[in-house]
Amino acid sequence: MEINLEKRINELEARHSFQEDSIERLSSEVRKQQQEIGILKEKLAAVFDLLHKGNDIEDGNEKPPHY
């Protein structure tokens, strides 16, 4: 009985260690992805601003339809 209990405790400790490591790696990956998402949002906003400014310039140079 004592050997079985010790074996189970060792197995649980090993699982616990593995899960802690997995959680830390996943947490680190989520942090990296959140940073990448923030950077991509900023870049996307900059692209939209450029497109919007480009449309304003083009609209000002167009000739009216009756020409």
pTM > 0.75: yes or no:
no
Give per-residue pLDDT as tens, 14-47.
Answer: 999 999 999 999 999 999 999 999 999 999 999 9
> Which pLDDT value is given to residue 3?
85
> Which pLDDT value is given to residue 64?
65
Question: Would you say residue 57 has pLDDT above 90?
Answer: no
Across the chain, which distance is largest between two alpha carbons, in Å?
98
What is d(CA 30, CA 32) in angstroms, rounded to the nearest whole number? 5
Question: Would you say residue 1 has pLDDT above 90?
Answer: no
